[in-house]
A and B are shown apart, each in its own frame.
Chain A
Amino acid sequence: MTAAPETTLVEPSANMDLLRFATAGSVDDGKSTLIGRLLFDSKSIFTDQLESVERTSQERGDEYTNLALLTDGLRAEREQGITIDVAYRYFATPRRKFIIADTPGHIQYTRNMVTGASTADLAIVLVDARKGLVEQSRRHAFIVSLLRVPHLVLAVNKMDLVDWSEEVFEQISHDFTNFASKLDIPDLTAVPISALLGDNIVSRSENMPWYDGPSLLHHLEHVHHASDRNLVDVRFPVQYVIRPQSTQHADYRGYAGQVAGGVLKKGDEVMVLPSGLTTRIAGIETADGPVAEAYAPMSVTVRLEDELDVSRGDMICRPHNQPCVAQDIDAMVCWMTDAPLVPGQKLAIKHTTRSARTVVKDVQYRLDVNSLHRDEGAGELGLNDVGRVRLRTTAPLLADEYRRNRITGGFILVDESTNRTVGAGMITGAS
């Protein structure tokens, strides 16, 4: 039984903020049930969706309504009972809109979770209270820290099956915190839940009076994530040059892009990289009129006082706070395709709005994501491996450490013959 909701679910407004979170855990941990519960309790599952799931469950002979069918949308997933790809789900409460990146537990795990975590403000790692920490829980926590997701929630699920035991919860929290201390996880919260029965999901559980923390939804609604963005280092990757070429705007030349860091203001002295030329911001504009300041993740158009040669792929920053202009890049790379990453390999690289070619100089080590052991003799990275790689690029990147800025520190690697995205990189150093 659960107490009356402490969160009133009324009509969401347009002015609420947004929290993106990723969920990690296998079907057996009750991840789909948890997501189904969050959607159901926030009235985000619609009657026709539920009826369709009930119908399919019956046809398959499932004993209960299988909420996993809500997220497993593809025919192959339904037929094989597996989740193939990241699914995005949406719900809202009066305080916040939420985007869930639901990452599958079995196939292509690392690749999918890395993808889902790359944009997440928060990650929920689910652990089955009966089983405690398993290898996969450690892997999940590692990926959360690798992708620098700022907030992590350990959800200890199926508390109903361990008699709502405080000892069990404390032991799992303790084990997890121990492992997490070897990682870089700035904010960790543990919540004991029963996704199936709804305990500590929307409202506080009466079955666990010993727990005095927030319900999961309350935490999701209140976690402070406004200061997760970098508001210090000005970074504006130029995406597109706007030149109307009309008589009305004959001399207009604006640099369009999405702010990646810092706060830009009219009149600020700025430097354009890689040229290194300096000028001032003449104005920051949007279709709704000029704005006094621009910060991440606003899409704006910047006009400069002097006519410089600025094009897509350039970066606007401050003269005394620049990213590294570098062709030698050290990075943690997650490899996402069958054929291994090997030294000497040539690839296309996309970093901010800049594209170049790159050659793999060295695979320094492969990381065992369960033990965190560094295998320095590996020499290559296979599918779903993570390792430290040195790259040399044909053109300089305007790079920050990923730990400093997730947008100017992340890149993707593309196979030039198949055009597939085959790797994701997080910059650790550049020179």
Chain B
Amino acid sequence: MTFHDYQLTQIDILESESIHIIREVTAELERPALLFSGGKDSIVMLRLAEKAFWPAPIPFPVMHVDTGHNFPEVLDFRDRRVAELGVNLVVASVQDAIDRGVVREEPNGSRNRIQTPVLLEAVEKNRFTALFGGARRDEEKARAKERVFSFRDEFGQWDPKDQRPELWNLYNGRIHLGESIRIFPLSNWTELDVWQYIARERIEVPSIYYAHEREVFSRDGMLFANNEFCRPRDGEDTFIGKVRYRTVGDATLTAAVGSDADTIEKIIEEVAATRLTERGATRGDDRVSEAAMEDRKKEGYF
């Protein structure tokens, strides 16, 4: 027998912890679903779910809250991945909710805030009791304080002052009828961990994460693509830039960064060296106020 120090790398430990969390939810909560947007974090989460139940299929559906403001590459990717895994896809459409008069378009055209009632409606309709989300604690300071099992009342609201203590690897998933739990299996992952895992597992991600040429314009210090969702205003000149996306959200809000990183190795190098957080660099939605994320979470947002 060879000497063995029984050491695991930090990526192995993170993977194991996440798989433990996913299995625990499935064992204890009746109707979970996994939020899948086609973004890198939800892609990693879906991969972890696949591993958690292998060789059995993933025992819960995936759900996409579709703002209608999508990057076509990401939507294609979503459909392909869902077909590969043979999981059910539930789409909660913001456009459909607007057409039905459930929510109203906001004056600035962003659908970030109005997607929350659409999400909550879909949860109620499908009677989901637990929703997996790909949020990470390193993303944002309100998220740094949120539990892995985040209890939500019957209105989907988060109460940061009344969270359940989480000790060891013991999670409390007990709820009353109408309440639910948001589950964050990637809580302890950083942006760099996510990319290192994508590299290690050779996971495919949508092409817009890699550097490519795109017609963009500059606004508030961010680079926005010139497309049907986002047009330059007077004085904003478009140009062809080499860019990539660090996050993928509502296309009206998500900006690109100037980048030459067209391979996964280059992305890892870039992420390790960057001096800006991914949300600070690319998300208009978090710039509203110091507590923008906290406020949205209290309303039932992820």
Contact = CB atoms under 8 A, between A and B. Distances in A.
Given A11-B273, A14-B196, A88-B188, A258 B20 contact: yes
Give the size range of A's interface with the partner: 35 or more
Of B55, B199, B281, B295, the most chain A CB neighbours within 10 A belong to B55
A75 interface: yes
Interface in A45-80: 46-49, 52, 56, 70-76, 78
A96 B8 CA distance: 12
A118 B140 CA distance: 24
A84 B23 contact: no
Interface in B11-38: 11-17, 19-20, 23-24, 26-27
Contacts of A410: 167-168, 170
A87 B268 CA distance: 26
A414 B290 contact: no
A66 to B, nearest CB: 13
A387 B259 CA distance: 57
A118 B281 CA distance: 35
Interface in A1-26: 11-18
B167 A287 contact: no
Interface in A78-94: 78, 84-90, 92
B17 A74 contact: no
A48 B276 contact: yes
Contact of B188 (A13, A99, A112, A287): A99
Contacts, number: 207
B200 interface: yes
Give the size range of B's interface with the partner: 35 or more
A404 to B, nearest CB: 14
B170 A350 contact: yes
B145 interface: yes
Given A115-B167, A258-B169, A293-B4, A71 B161 contact: no
B33 to A, nearest CB: 17
B202 to A, nearest CB: 12
A420 interface: yes
Interface of A: 11-18, 43, 46-49, 52, 56, 70-76, 78, 84-90, 92, 96-97, 99, 111-112, 114-115, 118-119, 226, 229, 231, 239-240, 242-246, 248-249, 252, 256-258, 263, 286-288, 293, 295, 297-299, 301, 312, 336, 348, 350-351, 353, 406-407, 410-412, 414, 419-421, 424
Given A17-B7, A87-B145, A99-B188, 14 more contacts: A13-B196, A16-B9, A17-B9, A75-B294, A85-B161, A239-B27, A249-B56, A252-B55, A286-B54, A288-B51, A299-B15, A410-B167, A419-B175, A424-B167
